[in-house]
Structure 1
Amino acid sequence: MARMAPAAHAAGEGPVALTTRPTAPGLGAAIGAMGWVRGRYAHSAELALPTGGAQLLVNLDEDALSSTPLKGARRRTGGAALHGPYSEPAVIDPAQQRAVLWVAFRPGGVRPFLDAPVSEVRDRLVGLDDLWGTDGAVLRERLIEAMAAGGPRAGLRALETALTDRARRPTEPDPAVRLAAALLDRGTPVGEVTDRLGWTERRLARGCTEHLGLPPKRYARVRRFQRLLGQVNAGHGPPDWAFLAAHCGYHDQAHLIHEFRAFAGMTPTAYAPRSPRERNHVPLGA
């Protein structure tokens, strides 16, 4: 899935980034990618678009993170926090991305590190001190120490160790939910997914909300939106919105525009991401 803190386009300081896969045994099943990024940005605010996935962020520059849903109040935490699966756009501060360690979880991959179902952190920015108690409260300082001693790779190794120690259950995502997520990600109708799994719709809804954080239809809508953004940023010239509507599974162009407004807070023609690789970050102002 798309990451909350990928390589940056910076103003005044060239972007420096490291993206890797976890090396600790077992974590690869739960984590799609992790990394470190450092940079400075010309704009003062940007919109983070929903991916349906969860991310862990550690702000190494200052002990603060914040997120403001377009239809909600600003949420503030200390510098180590979990972005639960978002199903709506949120305004974030580029200044809080000047030096960040991040983890992007696979579908269902964050569940082993939480005491409650993933739905409890849906559309929320939650401090790790609230989620993990003392372990979460001291994590940022431990990572800063590791970075000072050995650089970004040492910081990422320390973060892997913290996640390994925190796992409350096997880190392999539930196989049935993982299959459901893959099918929904490809645009398979919910009814067909239940048939493939041999589940009822109620059981599918329960499994998705517990492990993915979103009900199956909402998850499918977010992932369809992400398929659309992938096509828009593929570099094939100006988007043909009517073609993309049919190609990505929308009823028509009007349906695409409605869904785009729901998940991006803007029309498709107003969408201008930070870069094609950073399609979920949309600058809002200088």
Structure 2
Amino acid sequence: MSGTPQRTPVSLTVRPSTPALAPLIGAMGHAEGRFAHAAELALPTGGAQLLVNLDRDALTRTPLHGAGRSTGGAAVHGPCTGPAVIDPAQQRAVLWVAFRPGGLSPFLPVPVCEVRDELAGLDDLWGGDGAVLRERLLEAVAAGGPPAGLRTLETALLERSRTLAAPDPAVRRAAFLLDRGTPVAEVADRLGWTARRLTRRCAGHLGVPPKRYARVRRFQRLLRRVNAGQGPPDWAALAADCGYHDQAHLIHEFRALAGITPGAYAPRSPGEGNHVPLPG
């Protein structure tokens, strides 16, 4: 890595104040930062976000192996199953929403799997409402700062959720079990579903097939342990604790999901474990 990135971070994170949104949205916030590095890896979480770039009317995402995607400054970042390269300059001023598992589904006119590993512009997803949302948020932030912008965004999400179907509670239960390492076959049995039905429902509501979702969430459990630890990680012990067959299996999965080796993993900070600066 090319040194410690310099920045002037400012952030505000809140929970939705409207009870109707609490089952759908885990958190929302405003973040500002200035970074010295020109590119960074964004690691997969299996979750989805809504992003609004207040600094510039553009968002981009480039899979580590594949073609990039660009949209206007307001977009849904679908559930990701692999690493992507993003531009830190697009994080200078951002409003963001992190959806709970299955929580994005009520805000989309299509199954969530159709935005997997994609940026989807709100103008494409929501038509006129999506096309003007960024301007509404810019006006709100200019008048009342980030809290006003978040209140405006919350109102827009509440209005949108009333027009679409509610999330599937059984899929949320499946996500809960998969997140804790329950085998896929056991999850299907607990729900009284066939494996095919579980796959179909997870793809439609989580955006990711259950086996892939379980892999990504196991990877996230690993990253949390690494970033909470003191000193060099004991990869063999972490492999056993996080559900990998052995250290070789952990290294293979790390390469597949992060695009780098465990030894090369150096996030922006322990609290930003899914953002890894790339050398210039």
TM-score interval (norm. to shorter) = over 0.9
Deviations 1:88-136 (A, max 9, x none): 1000000000000000000000000001110010010111111111111
- Verify: 1:174 aligned to 2:168, yes or no: yes
Residue in 1 that maps onto 2:274: 280
List aligned pairs for 1:217-232, cutoff 5 A. Answer: 217-232=211-226
Residue in 1 that maps onto 2:202: 208
- Verify: 1:82 aligned to 2:100, yes or no: no
List aligned pairs for 1:56-205, cutoff 5 A. Answer: 56-167=50-161, 168-169=163-164, 171=166, 173-205=167-199
Query: Where in structure 1 are there 5+ consecutive unaligned residues?
Result: 1-8
- Verify: 1:254 aligned to 2:248, yes or no: yes
The 1:26–1:10 alpha-carbon spacing in structure 2 relative to 1, beyond 3 Å, is farther
Distance in 2 of aligned mates of 1:164 and 1:45: 34
- Verify: 1:17 aligned to 2:11, yes or no: yes
Letter in 2 for 1:242: A
Residue in 2 that maps onto 1:6: none
Distance in 2 of aligned mates of 1:236 and 1:32: 28
Deviations 1:132-189 (A, max 9, x none): 1111111100000000111111000000111111123355x32111110010000000
Runs of 4+, deviation exceeding 2 Å: 168-171
Distance in 2 of aligned mates of 1:233 and 1:278: 9
How many residue pairs align between the two structures? Answer: 276
Letter in 2 for 1:53: G
Identity within the alignment, %:
75
Letter in 1 for 2:252: H
- Verify: 1:26 aligned to 2:20, yes or no: yes
Letter in 2 for 1:209: A
Q: Per the alignment, in what secondary structure is the counterpart of residue 107 of structure 1?
A: coil
| Aligned-CA RMSD value | 1.2
Conserved? CA contact 2:123–2:131, under 8 Å: yes
TM-score by length of 2: 0.96
Distance in 2 of aligned mates of 1:87 and 1:71: 12
1:34 to partner: Cα distance? 0.4
Distance in 2 of aligned mates of 1:239 and 1:61: 37
